[in-house]
Structure 1
Amino acid sequence: MMSVLITGASTGIGRATVAHLVGNGFHVWATVRADADDHELRAAHGDAVSVLRMDLTDHDSITAAGAVVCAAGALHGVVNNAGVALPGPLEHVPMQVFRRQIEINLVAQLAVTQAMLPALRLAKERGERARIVMIGSIGGRIAGPMLGGYHSSKFGLVGLSDSLRAELTPSGIPVVMIEPGAIATPIWRRGRSAGDEVTRHLTAAARNRYAKQIEASQANAARSAESGLPPARVARVIHEALTARSPRARYLVGPDARAAATLTRLSMRLTRRLVAARA
Structure 2
Amino acid sequence: MSRSVVVTGASTGIGRACVDQLVRAGFTVWASVRTDEDEAALHRDHPEAVRVLRLDLTDPTSIEAAGELVRAAGPLHGLVNNAGVALPGPLEYLPVDVFRRQIEVNLVGQLAVTQAMLPALRLSRERGEDARIVMIGSIGGRIAGPMLGPYHASKFGLVGLTDSLRAELAPSGIRVVLIEPGAVATPIWGRGTAAADDLAKTLPAGAERYAKQIAATRANAARSAAHGIPPARAAQAVVRTLTAPRPRPRRVVGPDATVAAALVRLLPYRLLYRLAAR
Q: Provide the secondary structure at the position in 2 that maps to 1:107.
A: helix
The answer to whether the aligner puts 1:181 opposite 2:182 as a matched pair is yes
Q: Deviations over 1:142-199 (max 9, x none)?
A: 0000000000000000000000000000000010000000000000000000011111
Q: Which amino acid aligns with 2:156?
A: F
Gaps of 5+ in 2: none
The answer to whether the aligner puts 1:6 opposite 2:11 as a matched pair is no
Equivalent pairs: percent with the same residue?
A: 69
Give the Cα separation in 1 of the matches to 2:99 and 2:276: 22
Give the Cα separation in 2 of the matches to 1:203 and 1:117: 45
Partner of 1:216: 216
Q: Provide the secondary structure at the position in 1 that maps to 2:46.
A: helix
Q: Which amino acid aligns with 2:240?
A: E
Q: Provide the secondary structure at the position in 2 that maps to 1:251.
A: strand
Q: Provide the secondary structure at the position in 2 that maps to 1:264.
A: helix
Partner of 2:248: 248
Give the Cα separation in 1 of the matches to 2:253 and 2:204: 39
Q: Deviations over 1:38-81 (max 9, x none)?
A: 00000100120000100111011001100000000000000000
Q: Provide the secondary structure at the position in 1 that maps to 2:47.
A: helix
Give the Cα separation in 2 of the matches to 1:46 and 1:24: 16
Partner of 1:44: 45
Q: CA deviation at 1:205?
A: 3.0
Give the Cα separation in 2 of the matches to 1:65 and 1:146: 34
Give the Cα separation in 1 of the matches to 2:249 and 2:22: 21
**In the comparison of the two structures, how many residue pairs are matched?**
276
Q: CA deviation at 1:215?
A: 0.1
The answer to whether the aligner puts 1:87 opposite 2:104 as a matched pair is no
Give the Cα separation in 1 of the matches to 2:185 and 2:38: 19
Aligned pairs for 1:159-170 within 5 A: 159-170=160-171
The answer to whether the aligner puts 1:203 opposite 2:210 as a matched pair is no
Q: CA deviation at 1:204?
A: 2.7
Give the Cα separation in 2 of the matches to 1:99 and 1:213: 22
Give the Cα separation in 2 of the matches to 1:205 and 1:123: 55
Give the Cα separation in 1 of the matches to 2:70 and 2:141: 30
Give the Cα separation in 1 of the matches to 2:173 and 2:45: 34
Give the Cα separation in 1 of the matches to 2:203 and 2:163: 37
Give the Cα separation in 1 of the matches to 2:203 and 2:25: 49
Normalised by the size of structure 1, how large is the TM-score?
Answer: 0.98
Partner of 2:172: 171
RMSD, aligned α-carbons = 0.6
The answer to whether the aligner puts 1:21 opposite 2:14 as a matched pair is no
Per mean C-alpha deviation after superposition, the further-off stretch among 260-269 and 210-219 is: 260-269
Q: Provide the secondary structure at the position in 2 that maps to 1:47.
A: coil
Partner of 1:32: 33
The 4+ residue runs of structure 1 with deviation greater than 2 A are: none
Q: CA deviation at 1:249?
A: 0.6
Give the Cα separation in 1 of the matches to 2:276 and 2:119: 42
Give the Cα separation in 1 of the matches to 2:188 and 2:176: 24
The answer to whether the aligner puts 1:237 opposite 2:272 as a matched pair is no
Per mean C-alpha deviation after superposition, the further-off stretch among 250-259 and 266-275 is: 266-275
Q: CA deviation at 1:203?
A: 2.3
Give the Cα separation in 1 of the matches to 2:84 and 2:78: 18
Gaps of 5+ in 1: none
Q: CA deviation at 1:2?
A: 1.2
Q: CA deviation at 1:236?
A: 0.4
Give the Cα separation in 1 of the matches to 2:198 and 2:220: 18
Partner of 1:155: 156
